[in-house]
């Protein structure tokens, strides 16, 4: 596909993705209050455990409205994830045959639960991270967390985990597209494990190693699962190619 057509296809997919995100955000707008209560729950739990004043602070007149818009967009990402993940696969796989394109639905079926599973793992980590970070507040002091900064922290955490869980699926897509062999994926297994544990250490700022291991192991398992699928695909592809050449 020429570069111009690639750019036009990218523009089309970005436009369709934006429509899905906006529609998801409109739905999320009506569940803002329960979502805000869920976001504040880790701060309230840390305040009870440590006996400190820890709560959200809206520093500007329009900051509450800005917060509602951002929370709606944030939740809209999850509500519309099947749609924008499909747009991603549709952009990656335009050059495949009609048979291979059917795999995109399988990739989509795997990506949505993995993305949501990564987000749920991040949601489990969030209270632990908040409690640890709030523990650095000196005795007798208060922590009035800026609402915008706190939301950005939660968004980065949840989205990072969601994307990390989808990355193995992208490796499989590249393998099925003939752009990445299983042998190439296998060569980087040490780096993949190292990156998984570094990611877990950075994204889970807790003093215990057990939480870091619980976060890193699923990412490593997904990587090696993707490697196994790529090996099986390459074996079938090599057999088909050998049979074709033997004719």
- What's the mean pLDDT in 202-225? 79
Task: Encode burial over 2-27: b for 16+ CB neighbours within 10 A, e otherwise.
Answer: eeeeeeeeeeebeebbeebbeebbee
What pLDDT was estimated at residue 146? 85
What pLDDT was estimated at residue 160? 85
Return all residues near 140 (Cβ < 8 A) that are at least 6 apart.
none
Instruction: State pTM to two decimals.
Output: 0.74
Taking the domains of the chain in order of start, what are their residue ranges? Answer: 3-246
Q: Are 126 and 157 in contact, with CB atoms under 8 Å apart?
A: yes
Query: Would you give the distance in Å from CA 27 to the centre of its chain?
Result: 21
pLDDT band with cut points at 50, 70 and 90 for residue 156: confident
Highest mean pLDDT: which range of 5-14, 25-34, 51-60: 25-34
pLDDT digits (tens, 9 = 90+) for 38-93: 888 888 888 888 888 888 888 878 888 888 898 898 888 888 888 887 887 777 66
Q: Which residue has the tokens 């993949």?
A: 192
CA distance 135 to 145: 13
Q: Are 145 and 56 in contact, with CB atoms under 8 Å apart?
A: yes
- 35 sits in which H/E element: helix 32-50
Return all residues near 192 (Cβ < 8 A) that are at least 6 apart.
220, 223
Is 60 exceeded by the pLDDT of residue 96? no
Percent of all residues in the chain with a pLDDT value above 70, rounded to a whole number = 91
């Amino acid at each position: 596909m020429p570069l111009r057509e690639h750019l036009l296809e990218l523009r089309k997919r970005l436009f369709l993705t934006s429509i899905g995100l906006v529609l998801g955000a409109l739905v999320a707008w009506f569940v803002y209050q329960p979502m805000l209560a869920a976001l504040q729950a880790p701060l309230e739990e840390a305040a009870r455990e440590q006996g400190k004043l820890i709560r959200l602070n809206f520093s500007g007149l329009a900051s509450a409205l800005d917060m509602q818009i951002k929370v709606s967009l944030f939740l809209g990402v999850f509500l519309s994830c099947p749609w924008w993940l499909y747009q991603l696969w549709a952009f990656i796989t335009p050059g495949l045959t009609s048979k291979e394109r059917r795999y995109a639905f399988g990739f989509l079926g795997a990506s949505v639960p993995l993305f949501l599973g990564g987000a749920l793992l991040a949601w489990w980590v969030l209270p632990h991270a908040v409690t640890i970070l709030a523990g650095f507040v000196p005795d007798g002091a208060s922590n009035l967390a800026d609402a915008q900064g706190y939301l950005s922290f939660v968004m980065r955490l949840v989205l990072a985990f969601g994307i990390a869980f989808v990355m193995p699926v992208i490796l499989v897509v590249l393998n099925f597209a003939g752009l990445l062999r299983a042998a190439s994926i296998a060569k980087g297994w040490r780096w993949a494990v190292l990156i998984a544990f570094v990611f877990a250490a950075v994204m889970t700022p807790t003093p215990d190693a057990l939480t870091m291991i619980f976060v890193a192991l699923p990412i490593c398992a997904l990587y090696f699962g993707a490697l196994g699928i790529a090996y099986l695909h390459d074996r079938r592809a090599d057999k088909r190619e050998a049979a074709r050449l033997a004719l």
